Amino acid sequence: MINVQVRTESGEIVLRGSCGLDWMETVRRIDEDKFPFLGSLLPYADTMFNSRQVERLRREISDQSVLEIIGQDSVVEIERLCMQVENGSHLYLWFLGD
């Protein structure tokens, strides 16, 4: 399971996502060439996105094929956390692998 958090530069957790992404059933089906940000998530490692990268990630998750793969709840959750990063200062979006 990959969980999502918004953190400060120092690593303090600002906001935790309420739903995780199941790597085996969903994320591994993402086309890495078409969706490079989602495609870069790893099941056993952490991935961090800065505010500029988060903007691009939001564009990726708005694609209908991503919605079909990861589900409406996950898309809404990731978008909410992305907006927190974009509207804040010195915040990062973390995807935490098992």
pLDDT tens-digit profile of 40-96?
988 889 999 999 999 999 999 999 999 999 989 999 999 999 999 999 999 999 999
The pTM score is 0.91
Q: Which domain holds residue 20?
A: 3-96
pLDDT band at 1 (very low <50, low <70, confident <90, very high): confident
Looking at residue 36, its pLDDT comes to 95
Domain count for the chain: 1
What is residue 46's three-state secondary structure?
strand
Cα–Cα distance list, 82 to 8, 24, 25, 44, 64 (Å): 13, 23, 23, 22, 18
